[in-house]
Amino acid sequence: MELPGKIALVTGGAHRVGREIAIALAHAGCHLAIHYHNAEKAAKETASTVEALGVNAAIFRSDLRALNQIEGLFRLIDSEIGPLDFLINSAAIMKKVAFHKADEEDWHNTIDLNLKAPFFCIQKAAERMRINGAGVIVNISDIAGLRPWREYPIHSISKAGLEMLTKVAARTYAPEVRVNAVAPGPVLKPDEMPDTRWQELGDALPLQRPGNAHDVARAVIFLLESDFITGETLVVDGGNQLI
């Protein structure tokens, strides 16, 4: 699909990987709906950066863990910027918690944002895209969904679910709507991780360096443009799965 002039919603688009995806879409000529929850200042800064590239941008606050707020988000987008062409499900939480110490709150905080929210965002977006005759959805997964991480058990489970959600949605909404995923490896250092440990992880990869958020954004652009790919996950991990 051609990108210039299309409208894209990026959940979690205020900062980190979501911000880089929003900027890459703007460079490609897309108009942006930038979702945020608590990072209003960052959302405004991202919108300003995007608008400086010559496209339109609007910010929308929503707690995607609540279905009524997802529904409200899509109604606002309908009324303020028009029908969506693209949805990028980037909003997520990655909390380190041991399996035996996790409680119900840990479970809901992660599952509701990482899996429940993409499910209902896809539902709402795809319904609209089908009416309009076309659309593309890209989920930002994680290599934790393909290989279990012992220290992030709920995160791993949520991303494994997102992998299956990608396939089920692709099957459900074809042919009008394509649904794919990107599974990043070490592309953005967790806040709590020491720089030395981050570099060690990069050095251990076949490509001998960590990636960056722009690598993920480029993969998203590829999947938006590639009209004969659906139900697939593009792994962007520097060869991590090879070791």
Residues 128-149: pLDDT tens digits?
999 999 999 999 999 999 999 9
Specify whether the CB–CB gap between 42 and 14 falls below 8 A: yes
Exactly one of 6, 116, 124, 159 is catalytic; name it.
159
Specify whether the CB–CB gap between 9 and 56 falls below 8 A: no
Specify whether the CB–CB gap between 175 and 231 falls below 8 A: no
Q: What percent of the chain has pLDDT over 70?
A: 100
Residue range 188-235, pLDDT digits in tens: 988 778 999 999 999 999 999 999 999 999 999 999 999 999 999 999
Task: Please report, for the chain, the start and end positions of each structural domain, with discontinuous segments joined by +.
Answer: 7-236
**The predicted structure's pLDDT at residue 192:** 78
Compute the Cα dihedral for 144, 149, 155, 159 and give only its sign. Answer: positive
Token pair 């993920």 is found at 216
CATH superfamily assigned to domain 7-236: NAD(P)-binding Rossmann-like Domain (3.40.50.720)
Cα separations (Å) of 243 from 51, 155, 159? 42, 21, 20
Active site residue 124: no
Can you list the residues of the chain whose pLDDT is less than 70? none
**The predicted structure's pLDDT at residue 189:** 87
Token pair 């949520």 is found at 158
Exactly one of 6, 124, 152, 173 is catalytic; name it.
152
**The predicted structure's pLDDT at residue 8:** 98
Can you give the C-alpha Rg of the chain in angstroms? Answer: 17
Token pair of 148 as six digits: 């279990």
Active site residue 36: no
